[in-house]
Amino acid sequence: MIDWNAMGDEEFRQEVRTFFEQNYPSELRYPPHRLRWAEIKGWYMTLAAKGWLAPTWPTLYGGMGLNPTKFLIFIEEQERWGVARTPDMGMTMVGPLLIKHGTEEQKSYYLPKILRGEHLWCQGYSEPNAGSDLASLKTSAIIDRDEFVINGQKTWTTLAQDATHIFMLVRTDPQAKKKQEGISFLLVDCKSPGITVRPIPNIAGNEEFCEVFFDNVRAPRANIVGELNKGWTIAKAMLGFERITLGSPKQSQYALGRLEILARQRGCFDDPVFLDKFTALQLDVADLVSVYARFVDIVKRGETLGPDVSLLKIWATETYSRISSLMVETAGAAGAIVGKVDFGGEPVDVLSSFYYARPAPIYGGTNEIQRNIIAKEVLGLPS
């Protein structure tokens, strides 16, 4: 078994880069939307066969055992080569959660099935009236002997139509004094009777999100992770990691490069007004790179991310949104065409970037909520 952490950083980077460049399907590079299981299954199984499906899991459980520095190199090389996300909730959320908080029975049952592609997980957090204010969730799980009986609804559930299982936050004590209390973390089989999944088409016509309904769905009490009514602590820790991944500058850097191609082909750099806008965006991306590096250093040191990581999510998503808007403006009439358009021999998908940027300030906790977190938890301002 290879000890990847014993490698030098540049040697490891080259190893990862070579594997991606030689094995990742070229037609799947930089996809304009989240790929469905049927499209990405081949790559998922290629990573599984290589033993690279779960980079941060300990080798004891089938992972690569990467330390924070090596893991960030792994992610950077994925982004550099335009490698699409697989259905990764099992690897990035469920697996680490079970390794830290799960029972031995849960680990031995669920972890191998994730690595074999038998279990695909989705996240049951947001509800119609509990999105960014997640602690207000109302989906209930009532104990009935050895089972929970679940009723309620989850929404904006990414790729739920492909998932075999869902990890959920449910309210198990409706009498709790604080809304963050009385919430439990539960694992549920999506084939359970009473579950209905309804895809939600987005503005681009893709069905990346779903709403999921629970009508007297039964799940074994053994499927609870951690203690009863203590699920909020687990969920909160997972959200910090989500915000640093959403804050990567690679998306904005790639979009800025596409914008530069458009601008040069259309002679926009001769326009001082456009040049001023483009320069401002260049500086925004440079600032994003700098802020991201600061939080990366925290992860490298093995420290816990604080509430100020919300700044990263705000800056990344709003910068990407501004770049995508200027792309549409710069492309002129071609900015209304769905799919890739040729600009002097360079294919650029203008409209998909614009569409994809619209929900970015909303998912992962709206940017308004992120600003509230910074105001209260970082600046100490009153509620």
Residue 239's pLDDT is what? 65
pLDDT at 1 over 80: no
Task: Please write the tens of the pLDDT for every residue from 253-281.
Answer: 889 988 998 999 999 999 999 999 999 99
pLDDT at 189 over 90: yes
Confidence band, pLDDT 50/70/90 cuts, at residue 237:
low
Task: Please write the tens of the pLDDT for every residue from 29-83.
Answer: 888 788 999 999 999 999 999 999 999 899 999 999 998 889 888 988 998 898 9
The rounded distance, in Å, linking the Cα atoms of 153 and 137 is 9
Residue 356's pLDDT is what? 84
The verdict on whether 208 is a catalytic residue reads no
DSSP letter string, 13-45:
HHHHHHHHHHHS-GGGSS-SSPPPHHHHHHHHH
Least confident of 207-216, 255-264, 297-306: 297-306
- 263 burial level (CB within 10 Å; 0-12, 13-18, 19+): buried
Which one from 242, 260, 318, 329 is the annotated catalytic residue?
242
Residue 68's pLDDT is what? 80
The rounded distance, in Å, linking the Cα atoms of 128 and 248 is 28
* Domain 247-378, CATH number (from 2.30.40.10, 3.40.50.300, 1.10.3720.10, 1.20.140.10): 1.20.140.10
The rounded distance, in Å, linking the Cα atoms of 77 and 248 is 12
| Burial call 353-368: b when 16+ CB within 10 Å, e when fewer | bbbbbebbbebbbbbe
The token pair at 220 is 């074994």
The rounded distance, in Å, linking the Cα atoms of 246 and 227 is 29
CB neighbourhood size of 280 (10 A): 12
Residue with tokens 């001023």: 276
Report the mean per-residue pLDDT for the chain.
91
Highest mean pLDDT among 27-31, 168-172, 206-210, 248-252: 168-172
Residue 80's pLDDT is what? 86
CATH number of 121-229: 2.40.110.10
Task: Please write the tens of the pLDDT for every residue from 24-36.
Answer: 999 998 887 889 9
Residue 198's pLDDT is what? 97
Distances (CA, A) of 304 to 58, 91, 122, 291: 19, 20, 25, 16
DSSP letter string, 128-139:
TTBSSSGGG---
The answer to whether 180 and 232 have CB atoms below 8 angstroms apart is yes
Residue whose C-alpha is closest to residue 47's, from 27, 23, 28: 23
- How do the domains of the chain map onto residue ranges? 4-86, 121-229, 247-378
